[in-house]
Amino acid sequence: MLCVAALLAGCRRSPSAPALTVYAAASLTDVMEAFADTFQVATGVPVTVNVAGSSLLARQIERGAAADLFVSAHPDWTDYLHAAERILWPEELPVANRLVQVRRRDGGAAANDRIALADPDHAPAGMYAREALLCEGTWAALTPRLAPTLDARAAVAAVEAGAAGAAIAYASDAAMAPELHAEEAISEACRPRIRYAAAVVRESALRQDARRFLALLRDPAAARLWRRFGFGFISENGG
């Protein structure tokens, strides 16, 4: 990650610098922690990552939570906070993901026909899943078997615990759960475009550091880090 650290050269802060607080979608847990470590090594600025469902985080920021940067798994929630004048102008991240169905590799919970997914009324992963299943024409038939969870990570955890036989989640979440088997759940024609967006919180006292962290997330030099955690990175030439 030397090339990434080079992006932040010349902006080191005192070891006693206050922590930058990043509110990020639960599906970004592992990659955000990696970015936080990279940023702190390069700049001396500690980073605290708070993860939860994008909708929950947005409501917290709306109520004045002390966040510096918000990273959402759906632009609806950055648009919501921008309209409420709680964040500065949102930026879409050049990051890609897709939905998959996950099951236990050992066959556990095979008789359980419940399908876990993030709450389709609030959580981005569930919103994307509903969009895809409506396109496939299977939403109505599957609805009695669906088990909504707080977010995509919780849906995967339900399968791991045996509370559901399968889950519809992000490919990046499946990549972090090697004991689960992931398979394509949505036809190419019905795959939703999963979009991540981020913005600096308007009341942040660390706007400059928040902007630097956001720039790091967007920079092509960080593509390898995104891909390590199961995400795609969209370069200027579309690759």
CATH number at residue 154: 3.40.190.10
Q: What is the pTM of this model?
A: 0.89
Print the domain residue range for 65. Answer: 2-95+195-233
| 239 found inside a domain | no
Task: Give the pLDDT of residue 2.
Answer: 41
- For the CA atoms of 52, 57, 59, 64, the dihedral, rounded to the nearest 10 degrees, stands at 130
Q: Determine contact, residues 169/102, Cβ cutoff 8 Å.
A: yes
Angle (CA) 94-177-33 rounded to 5° is 50
pLDDT tens per residue, range 51-75: 999 999 999 999 999 999 999 999 9
Same domain, 154 and 184: yes
Task: Give the pLDDT of residue 178.
Answer: 87
Structure token digits, residue 87: 């964040």
Same domain, 29 and 69: yes
Domain count, the chain: 2
User: Is 239 a residue whose pLDDT tops 80?
Assistant: no
